[in-house]
Structure 1
Amino acid sequence: MADNERSRWGVLCVVLALTAGCGGDRLQNLSGPTMGSTWSVQYVQHADGPAASQVQAEVEGILAEVDRQMSTYRSDSDIERFNGLPANSCQPMPGPVLQLVQVGEQLSRDSDGAFDLTVEPLLDLWGFGPQGREEKVPSASALAEVLQRVGHGHLRIEGQDLCKDAPVEVDFNSIAAGYAVDRIAARLAQMGIDSFLAEATGELKAVGRKPDGTPWRIALEEPRDDQQVAQRVIALDGYGVSTSGDYRNYFEQDGQRYSHTFDARFGKPITHQLASVTVIHPSTLMADGLSTLLLILGPQAGWDYAEKHAIAGFFVMRADKGFVTRSTPAFDALLAGQKQ
């Protein structure tokens, strides 16, 4: 969907032992490009299950549909055609687009406007978006002008139409990959595939176990600019996982670091010490959105929100000599309940 997905994601890596099982079951591995990054599906293939080519076609069909509907990097997508409309316009939208707008409205409301799907003009202004040019701190006047075109409150749904009362632009990059993973997981289950690890641009969902009976294992990556280092390995069954981090797409000016993650209330990148947040949730869509929301809120407000809403979250903060980590009670309880 977007070239900047490479920098936003990649915070998770997968630890897999590609071992054969008994009774003809074996691990099958599929992958391909998507959203400016990649997708992969590892699954247990039963003797009477669908052919790998059929599974690949189904996955690619889902991802192509998501791209046609939600990509901000192609002018003919449903959301980009909407983004090009002036204020006081409406456009018929497919159900998935309206669903994600509703999820975005919920996350915006819950975060008092910090999370917002209409930040694309801000991304462009600061040089991070699809129409961005030079990465630099904008002038106060330019920021004030763009903020007039930001705010989820300018959107409304009327039947099957998405409408806007200001020239806002919607960007689904904070939740589209999680949605796509949920769609893939549901389709795999419909095809009779009962054990798999589905991933798109780093968002994951693990279901079942490998042929040897061991769980799917996910390695949370330490936030480093220079290399990938596994920080903690977790085993999961039936959950989606999303990590949002601010350490791969940023620029520095006058000694200040500016991330591509924005607090929509102020129109500026986050500047606190929270480097990344991992969320585990039954819905990969919600894990995707919540990890971004918590990252925006920061190390204390994000933690308070996660505790209040019993979110399974893993926080990584910058410290003087590296990083410190903190996991919520819900995170610890969930992992304790997962068979290792």
Structure 2
Amino acid sequence: MDSPVSIVSYGKNAARANGLAKNRILQIEDLISVTKNGSDVFRLNSAESFPVKIHGETLQLFWFARDVYKKTSGALNPAIFPVVRAWGFTTGKYRVPSDEEISALLKKTDFSKVTLAGVTSAPVPFVASLSMQTGMMLDFGSLGKGFACDEAVRILKKSGITSALLDLGGNIYVLGKKIDGSDWKVGIKNPLGEGVALSLKVHDSAVVTSGCYERFFEEGGKRYGHIFDGKTGRPVENELASVTVVCESGLYADALSTALFVKGSAAAIEFWQAHKDFGLALIFKDGSKWLSPGLPLLSELSVER
């Protein structure tokens, strides 16, 4: 997942359960990685003809991503990958593409043109096929860790684990309560400086934060973050420093935190008001905050640079 991963479980089967969860995370990475030769996504992105057969897990991500893509008016867009790659965020060779290059690449980022060619009754490993325009590329990185987290939690539960803390590169999931029966305390990092901005009291929940304060590059005195606006083909520039989503699904939290960061504060709050099936915490670049009613807040600290 290109991130440090930590799973801490409690119970007599903890060691075995953690091993099984780790293996499941690695299986998912092998299917959805954009760089691993032979992964579903790698084969899709390098295909010369379509349809391309994919595994069930990739199909699940496609279906979910398509749904959130529609609900967020394209703010979550797995097809933005050609643009992200041009800026160097997948290679480390950072650069600012020309307006002409961005315009040309944007023509290859319409996720609605990725279609399901048909689910087959063929035995594992292939269960479906996808088709897309030549030159298009996908990246499920904006929801892959959330999906892997949910799968790891499913494995832990199946193994009899009732108390665990998972951290997949900042995607936090707390299973059950702590072994003393109390809720877990999860801190939300100050995106403008050091320390913690908020502390939440949660159980059986995912806590996922998106922002550009850790992954970025600077050129010509300007900072460019790794989260992109699919309409402009450029890193998001708005009033938000970070977006945190709290809900029972790691996949939903991962997808929404990215999409709502792209949409900006007004649209993010409007989306929450329309759905209210998750908790939302917005931290602004000026240090102010907006917290959805009912967010399990333990403490709130001032945000300073």
Deviation at 1:289, TM superposition (A): 0.2
Q: Compute the RMSD of aligned alpha carbons.
A: 1.8
Is the CA contact (8 Å cut-off) linking 2:75 and 2:260 kept in structure 1?
no
Structure 1 residues 77 and 308: alpha-carbon distance in aligned structure 2, compared to 1, 3 A threshold = same
Corresponding position: 1:164 with 2:132: yes
Is the CA contact (8 Å cut-off) linking 2:32 and 2:144 kept in structure 1?
yes
- Of residues 274, 281, 288 in structure 2, which corresponds to 1:324? 288
Structure 1 residues 126 and 184: alpha-carbon distance in aligned structure 2, compared to 1, 3 A threshold = same
In the alignment, which residue of structure 1 is the partner of 2:170? 202
Count of residue pairs the alignment pairs up: 288
Deviation at 1:101, TM superposition (A): 0.9
Is the CA contact (8 Å cut-off) linking 1:178 and 1:204 kept in structure 2?
no
Q: Secondary structure at the match of 2:177?
A: coil
In the alignment, which residue of structure 1 is the partner of 2:78? 117
Is the CA contact (8 Å cut-off) linking 1:154 and 1:168 kept in structure 2?
no
Gaps (5+ residues) in structure 2? 120-127, 299-305
In the alignment, which residue of structure 1 is the partner of 2:125? none
**Which runs of 4 or more aligned residues in structure 1 lie more than 4 Å from their structure 2 counterparts after TM superposition?**
none
Corresponding position: 1:296 with 2:258: no
Deviates more, 1:271-280 or 1:197-206: 197-206
Is the CA contact (8 Å cut-off) linking 2:173 and 2:204 kept in structure 1?
yes
Corresponding position: 1:248 with 2:207: no
Gaps (5+ residues) in structure 1? 1-34
Q: Secondary structure at the match of 1:232?
A: strand
Q: Secondary structure at the match of 1:240?
A: strand
Matches within 5 A, 1:1-340: 35-45=1-11, 49-50=12-13, 52=15, 54-86=16-48, 89-130=50-91, 133=93, 135-157=94-116, 158-159=118-119, 160-224=128-192, 227=194, 229-310=195-276, 311-319=278-286, 323-329=287-293, 333-335=294-296
Q: Secondary structure at the match of 1:300?
A: helix
Instruction: Provide the identity percentage.
Output: 27
Q: TM-score, normalised by structure 2?
A: 0.89
- For residue 261 of structure 2, what is the amino acid of its counterpart? L
Deviation at 1:233, TM superposition (A): 1.4
- In the aligned structure 2, how far is the partner of 1:300 from the partner of 1:255? 28
Deviation at 1:51, TM superposition (A): 5.3
- In the aligned structure 2, how far is the partner of 1:267 from the partner of 1:181? 29
- For residue 193 of structure 1, what is the amino acid of its counterpart? I
- For residue 57 of structure 1, what is the amino acid of its counterpart? G
